[in-house]
Structure 1
Amino acid sequence: MNTQSYMTSYEILVYTGDKRGAGTDSNVSITLFSKNGKQTGKIPLKNSNNKDPFERKQVDKFCVKGDYIGELTKLHIEHDNSGRSSGWFLDKIVVTDIFDPKTQYVATCNQWLAKDEGDRKISRDLTLHKQQTTTQKSNYYKVTVYTGNKSGAGTNSDVSLTLYGNLGEAGPMKLANQEDNFEPGKKDEFTIECQNVGELNQIFIAHNNKGLSAAWFLDSIVIEDLYAMHTYQFPCHRWLAKNEDDGKIARFLVPQSSTTETPQIRKHNQYKVTVFTGNKSGAGTDADVFITLFGNQGQTGQIKLDNEKDNFETGQKDEFIVECPAVGEINKILIEHNNKGLSSGWFLDRILIEDTQGHRTYEFPCNRWLAKDEDDKQIARYLVPRPKVKNNQYKVTVFTGNKSGAGTDADVFITLFGNQGQTGQIKLDNEKDNFETGQKDEFIVECPAVGEINKILIEHNNKGLSS
């Protein structure tokens, strides 16, 4: 397989002219060429938005898949001269790569492709002229939601959906169609119109926990991109409920791979992401910041870092808890922003990522600008973690006081800080009845060595009858 070949989708608008007999019944195909000498294969123009394509004074829209070849410079348009009315008067063609929706390529023809008209040619090479547009393209998505068949699986809450793709995000959007939705074992369908987000890499599904029966067991969601003619499946098989599972009423879901015959649903994980903005003048950013995690078990989609605070200020540390599919051992991240806002340039010092279930913290040094007017003008960077620090074993002995009610049933966690770094949050659990009044509990924990310990953080999650 050629790993250097990438696919994209093209929107192709074909304008048939306003002359007598201008329409054609022939089969039409197109080939695109780029300035670096590459070309797509011959692409048949089928599945128009019109029932009868290529009619007089008509605009036909096609969304086709083809090789990504870069900036376009010309096209080859042809038909096979079949059908009762084969001659065709072509006015112009407009091509848009949906991965770059603000750029259009326009080819003017204003000629016949006909055996009995003009120069009797049925194929033409046309030059494409690049044009920028500020119009935000909209798209339609068909969303099918499958509620599980468990007892009490349905919800009366308001359900919302946010789409994330390589072109941006859309939402949150309320899923409502004036029917009694989200009943146990039921399939609900919605058609939503929103901005085109490109290739979907994750969704965020949530409810507001209102109503008499708020808990919801979501089986799966299927989303059909009606523009790109592509269907995505998002397995869930979990509760969105305050009193079930992990107590979450919102979840990020990633699409099931269409290339895997028997795909396995990856378990979800929580990561604590700590972002350190540099202390240089103008280091902070008003742009939206996104992160993608890559590991030996897969990758997440693009995750927006937002905790509803004024983040990414000069010299500031910002913390985010993100829930996403577990990626295993993290080997790199992609950090990027969308260059929006009055002060979009950003000087990133470093990022710490704590795998809250794997008890490991990764440090990703950056110490560079992500800015269109600084450094190498890049607003996205891949970062790799510092080499893994060797693990150490610590014996932790906890003495609970002898006061009445001093013991706890909550889960207890410790974090070690030293002159060589810090551990992640470590759960203290030795499968015994720990933290009873007047009791001494011992734990052996294995974690990265932190050097000389200068402080610890001890905490519990306030769960249990006696927390």
Structure 2
Amino acid sequence: RLLEYSLQNKNKFEKNQVDTFIIEAVLLKQIRKIQIGHDGTGVGSGWFLNKVVVRSDDGHYEPVTFICNRWLAVDEDDGHIVRELMATQHLNRTIYNVKIKTGDIFQAGTDANVYLKIFGEKDTTDKIQLTTGNSTKNKFERGQINSFKLKCYDLGKIERILIGHNGKNLGAGWFLDWIEIEAPNCRELYRFVCYRWLDKNEGDGKIELDLIPSDVTNKTSLILYEITVFTGDKVGAGTDAKVFIQICGLYGKTEEIILKSKSDAFERKSVDKFKIEAPDIGQIEKIRIGHHSENFASAWYLEKVLIQRYLSKPFDKRKRVSDVNVEEYWFVCQQWFDSDQHDKQTIRELLPTNENENVLSNQKKITYLVHVFTGDKSGAGTDASVFLTIYGQYEDSGEHQLTKSKTNINKFERKQEDIFEVKAPALGKLTKIKIRHDSTGMASAWYLDRIEIVDPEIGVRYHFICEKWLAVDIGDRMISREILAFENKVLPASTRHQTTTYRINVITSNKFGSGTDANVYIIIFGEHEDTGKLPLVKSKTHKDPFEKGHRDLFEIEAIDIGQLKKIKIGHDDSGFGSDWLLECVEINVPKLDHTWIFPCGKWLKKTKHICQLEVELYPKEMSTGIYSSHIPYKIKIYTSNILDAGTNASVYIQIYGLKKSTNQVILCSTAWHLDRVEIRRLIKDQKTKRYVFQCNRWFPEDKDDGSIVRELVPENFIEEILIKKYIVNVYTGDKSGFGTDANIFLTMYGDKGHTDEHELVHSQTNKNKFERQQIDRFVIESSDLGNIYKLKIRHNNSGMLRDWFLDKIEIKDERQTYVFNCEQWLTKNKRDSKFERILYEKNYQSSMNGVGSVSRSTEECIPYIIKIKTGEISDAGTSANVFIRLIGSKGRQTPMIRLEVMHRRRFEPGSVETFSFEESDIGDVEMIEIEHNGNTLLDSWFLDGVIIKMPTKGRTFYFLCNDWLSKYKGDGRTKRILRVQDLNKTSFWSFPYVVKIHTGHMEHAGCDCDVSLRLFGTVRSSSECILRKNEENFERAAIDVFQCEFEDVGKPIKLRVAILPKSIQGRNRWYLEKIQLIKHTKQTIREEIYFFVLDNWIGHETDYYFDIPITNSSRVSIDRTTYRVITKTSDMDGINCDANVFIVIS
């Protein structure tokens, strides 16, 4: 409201003056805050406001005072001319410290007016103009960090921010790197990573952006450390290397902290002081200090280090005389840090001492004996430098180079044991090691068999089984491995679950001179710990990695660190062209089925203007779309059994899915007759489908129709089944000559199907498998076979010793053990001359009348298969115990049977869980009784339906529920009795919709694809509605209207929009502005209108679909009626109007 007429003064807002104004408004009740300001015009626009008092005219509410006592002026105070004031009784204001980093790329700065809006848990600010900060006058310039102090009421935890600018002035385009907001009241630091343009002419053209926190740091755990470094008084004692320190304490350790100084630090006889904020790690137990440089002037002689730890309360008073809130720790070193002289160490661990070198802590260094066993393979030895880090329950040893073997002059040779001494603090029980080499020397490839470490304090020998290559061109091409510790030599099968594979894609910029010849490394930080420094040596995509425009893939196996939080990536500044412009890093963890993207766009180089060889990156928030990682497909090609059906040509395959297709994959290396193709998606611990593509056609140029490329459609697919793990124990007989060197193959048969033939390759118990009186254990992953009743075992009659006497085979799953006795030879030279045997489970003959297992009673039992479909809304799942009873046509019923989910231990939203059991034959299933025992809101369960199969009778029964089983939702019942469905009847209502689709008004916005719509609601999702493409539909700036029907989904939540490409060459990218759904019910007396706004591209980069949430502007128009509008034009001269007139009625 404009404060126009003062009741007391004609010239209002003068010095020491009170002005009163009357404002009419709707009833606001008790006023909590006001916003007051001016437009900044006029010669003397600056205004110092003392306070504002607001009174209600009727006196129902007490007067409210708003204290200001600040300038509203562009050239005074903080430059704001608009302020929010809180009522004095509601004053709970705080200051937010805001830092904004403009990107370091060409023309990244802006001259536009930048604003910020903060959304908190308790409240939200208005748009705050960032006009005056406490930094430079010319704000938001390239590479600049601008600081601002925002004073407003307490917002609580910050949930998101809105950042943008007005797009005005010549250089309005702005590249925003990141924003940090510190809330001193709650001592939390919020970091928002943006790394994109806010520019109408760049990217998506947006100049305003919503961001959610990329990282939140609790600053209550941060304390101040003052570090004083004393460089020695020796010739050449100073260094130009980048020195770092890592502090290890009772409760953990800090990251590696670079000790930076504005002046020349670490010169001869210098004393350099550094103040850092770092987590409180408790009483300091040791430090790790050093540098990674091997340059000419990197040698350094360190005399000692003093660390003063500032506390909020006394911790250990004996450490400090003058101030009980400061602890002092001395670390006397008096050693060189030089890779060319002395012991060639550039990193050292130091224990706390006094100034006279007396160790203060009880932690003395002990000597670990490290036994390194190189494997017995051709070329197993290495000439590279080998490095070892030992991890214990308390801390780690730091990285040590294994230089001097106690047993051999020429270390790490084939079939050789080398013993080294590693001095470190007592680490407690050892948990793992990291072993690596630097890939130098003529023969750097190394086959490591194992490492054994002896703890002399307790006399325990720890075993670290590797049995892998550390090489850039052999095996998985990894030269760094983390290995878990065990106190026996047998490698448990569970170790594979404690490590995981990281697929790291490093993208170098496409600008001139972007590539590097330096050695690149990465450190990955997770929710549990970090991987340590991992060298990126052998790219799977390029021989010469990190070149201009390269996308280099590295696969690294390391300890599972959980969800990724951030990374550090850098290089050692070596090589002729070491400068590197890193575009971004993508890390895929197949175990978690997720990919993290870390944008960078920065130079990593060492010059006068830029001195940064390492960068810390945070993941970019994936706002829309679902990431689908690469998964394995097993492809079976059946060549026809007719004359000349085979081929020597290069056969390729390309698989087309609903949303995208694979690349062409070469299957082998001219006439060929193809019978069929089978493809199965192999996903661990998930369901799988097998697709069958029938062909029965020739592929030569001179036969059939002459085509050498054919598109096949799936004829059918086999029912979804779960992948299970079977443990196979193979017992070789106890007589001379019973072992074999041949390759062994196994096929398993169950009442639900059979496996493919598996070669038994990797024994978990023995390196040399199938030897006399030996038990070899294998793990086979397969679909659920049910009860296993038969095996086929054979060998290929290869090797020097081919004959094999098989005693028996045991197969274990999570339910039982199946025993298959053999006690026969597999050979061509003895008795019946067979090297293939069919074996039956030992109880099979006694269960021929059952279903593959011995009956539990004299009553005939039959198998039942039950499939439970949970609803797709986010809170549809339950962890409660679910029970079911089947009621049949013979007046018989089963007992209540508990349905236990084996893998996820709960019924997940949208999941289909399958259960199988044996019970008495109750005839056709007519009803089911299903319930759960949950009593809380979180136990609420939305059940879509149930399918019951009787495989021995070939009968299937369907039961629809589509309702809640909950004490708090629906009708409050947790038990339902469902009747079998007549599938000829419609299951639920459908409603007609008018669909209006708005294609964007920009270049190439149209597409050549059909469009698919699927509506999701609070109850269920609809079936798919396909809108066919014609010449006019889905073109630039077009508004296309369709009619379609969707099932009743409850209250709409989102709309899934997908485009269906018709050909590879077509326009398979579409800019969708928005979609409007108009729902008609009761003969259009009532209509409901829903808006789904996207304003973005749909194409290959989004997997050809988008899930668009319903917008808040969706409205319902009830009881439609007709309004008669009468306008009267005045009779004055010249008042007529030829323009289009509109009216808004509200």
Q: TM-score, normalised by structure 1?
A: 0.47
Q: TM-score, normalised by structure 2?
A: 0.22
- Structure with more relative contact order (C-alpha pairs < 8 Å, separation 6 or more): 1
